[in-house]
Amino acid sequence: MIHTLSHRQQGLLLTAGGALIISPDALLIKLIGLPDADILVWRGLLTALGFIAIVAARHGHGFLDAYRRCGWTGIGVAVLFSFSTFGFVLGNQYTKGGNVLMILAGAPLIAALLSRLFLKEYLPRRTWLAIWLCLLGTSLIVLDDAGAGSWIGNGFALLAATALAANFTLCRTRPGIDMSPMLTLSG
């Protein structure tokens, strides 16, 4: 069935499915009640194992070649994804999960700004409008919860969003290369 959908429809389906799968993630981080370092270690280890299984299933005997094709750009992808995970976990430890998810939702808009800055891409007026409106809305939500610990958590969430956006932008510098194998190294 998925092969009868357009690329746009497949992307929307994958995005919606991914959002549904990850939505309880912030709650689970709070419920686990482990120290920050323990959560980061276990999350990294389980993420790496999951992605290794996916890479092996997708690439079979070309498993190692999938990593080689990524080159140094892939190392940057792994580092940025690590920062994103670090910011997400610690953000959830120090502020409300809703704040973290709202700030993280701004990653595509930050990516648009980074693409403008580093890739010299043109941003249409509607993108600038979306950036400013989302910045205003996120600011209102974040300012409503202005405790000392919240600022630290919001800062970590902003780190996660910025690292994720930088990752999107970096991946766009090598459009023909699948960078997903490098996520196994980001744990």
Q: Is the pTM of this model over 0.75?
A: yes
User: Which tokens is 57 given?
Assistant: 């299933």
Residues in CB range of 50: below 8 A, 6 or more apart: none
Q: How many CB atoms within 10 Å of residue 54?
A: 14
Query: What would the pLDDT profile of 96-151 be if each residue is shown by its tens digit?
Result: 888 888 888 889 889 999 999 999 999 999 989 988 998 888 888 777 766 666 88
Domains of the chain, residue spans:
24-186
CA 101 to each of CA 43, 158, 185: distance values in angstroms, whole numbers, following the listed order: 18, 10, 24
Total length of the chain: 187
What is the rounded average pLDDT for all residues in the chain? 87
CA 62 to each of CA 49, 50, 65, 68: distance values in angstroms, whole numbers, following the listed order: 18, 18, 5, 10
Query: What would the pLDDT profile of 74-107 be if each residue is shown by its tens digit?
Result: 999 999 999 999 999 999 888 888 888 888 888 9
CA–centroid distance for 141 within its chain: 20
Instruction: Report the candidate in 176, 23, 172 with the shortest Cα–Cα distance to residue 108.
Output: 172
> How many H helices and E strands in the chain?
8, 0
Cβ–Cβ < 8 Å for 91, 153: yes
Is 23's pLDDT higher than 80? Answer: no
